[in-house]
Amino acid sequence: MPKRSGLVVARTRGEAREWHRAQRALGKRIAFAPTMGALHDGHLSLIKLGLEKADVAASSIFVNPTQFAAHEDLGTYPRAEESDLEKLAAAGCSFCYCPSPIEMYPPGDSTRVKVKDLSHILEGEVRPHFFEGVASVVSRLFLHVAPDVAVFGEKDFQQLLVIKRMTQDLGFGIEIVGAPTRREADGLAMSSRNAYLNTDERAQAVAVSRVMFATAAKLEAGEPIRAATDAATAELLAAGFASVDYVEARRADTLAPFGAETCPVGATGRLLLAARLGKTRLIDNVGFVRR
C-alpha cells in the first residue's frame, strides 16, 4: 500500500483489513475518525483526541452518496484529497481509507441501516434520507477498518447520537467518543461547507453562534422554551438568513422535547439549529443545564 510521510493509504476493504491485522499483530489499539474530506482543524482535532484514546489513529475520506438527496451538493462538495492526506500525516494519523463509491456500494448492493428512533426528527425531518445514508456508510467503514474507538464531532450532534445507538444496537464493540465543536475566532462552527459562503455571507454567518449561545443562556435561566426559540428564529431572519429550518431545545440524551413550558431545573438540554444563508445551510448546537 502507498505511504506518504508515514501515512498508509488504502483504497479497498481488503487493504483496510490488511492494515488492521498488522496493527493487531503489533498489539495496537486503533482510533478512527471518518470524514468526507475537505479537512479543517475540527477534523484534525478528532485525530488528536483519537490519539489520546488509542495507540494509532486512522481516518477515511469518502464523500458518501447515500447521505445526499438528488437536489443536494454531492457533485459540488469540496474535494481535496492530496492536501487532506498531507494534513492527516502532519496530525499524526497513520492510516487513511479512501475507497471508491463501488468499493463501498458494490454493483447490485441493496443493504441499508436505519436507526428508527432518532432519524426522522430535526435534521431527519428536513433531510429524510440523511441518517440512513450515514448509518449505512459508517457501519461499512466500521466493518472495513474495525477500530477500537471512533471519534465524531459534536458539531453533528444528532449524527453522533444516531451512531452511538447504531453501534450499541448492532454490537460493534467500538467505543464512540464525541469531540467538542471547533470554532473560528468569531464563533462560527468549523465546517467544510463554510467554503460555500461568499464574503458578505461569511460576515452574516456569525449570527448562528451568537444567537445560539444567547438563547442557551436564556434557557439556562428558565425562560419559556417557545419564547426563546421563536426569538432566536426572528433574530436569524433579521440577520439576513433566507430561512430557518429549526431552532429546538431538546433533552440532550434522547433529543426528545421537554414537554413543558420551561426546561425543568437541573435538566441537561441541547439547543440545535439549522438555517439557510444564500445557498448554504448552516447547523450548530450547544449543551445547556437549567439552573
Catalytic residues: 43
Q: Does 103 bind ligand PAF (CB under 6 A)?
A: no
DSSP one-letter code for 263: P
Q: Does 247 bind ligand PAF (CB under 6 A)?
A: no
Q: Write down the least CB distance from residue 286 to ligand PAF, Å.
A: 18
- Segment near ligand PAF (CB under 6 A); pick from 8-16, 78-86, 130-138, 224-232: 130-138
Q: Does 134 bind ligand PAF (CB under 6 A)?
A: yes
Q: Does 154 bind ligand PAF (CB under 6 A)?
A: no
Pick one of 156, 245, 248, 284: the residue that binds ligand PAF (CB under 6 A).
156
Distance CA 59, CA 73 (A): 23
The three-state DSSP-derived secondary structure of 165-190 is HHHHHHCCCCEEEEECCCECCCCCEC
- Segment near ligand PAF (CB under 6 A); pick from 33-41, 228-236, 252-260, 275-283: 33-41
Q: Between residue 50 and residue 89, which ones bind ligand PAF under the rule CB under 6 A?
A: 64, 67
Residues with Cβ within 8 Å of 92's Cβ and at least 6 positions away in sequence, in order, are: 47, 48, 51, 57
The pairing of strands 7-10 and 3-4 is antiparallel
Comparing CB distances to ligand PAF, the nearer of 42 and 229 is 42
**Count of residues engaged in binding ligand PAF, rule: CB under 6 A:** 10
Helix (H, G, I), strand (E, B) or coil at 54: coil
Q: Does 124 bind ligand PAF (CB under 6 A)?
A: no
Looking up cell 460555500 gives 196
- Name the nearest CA neighbour of 118 among 187, 47, 168: 168
Q: Which residues bind ligand PAF (CB under 6 A)?
A: 34-36, 64, 67, 134, 137-138, 156, 159
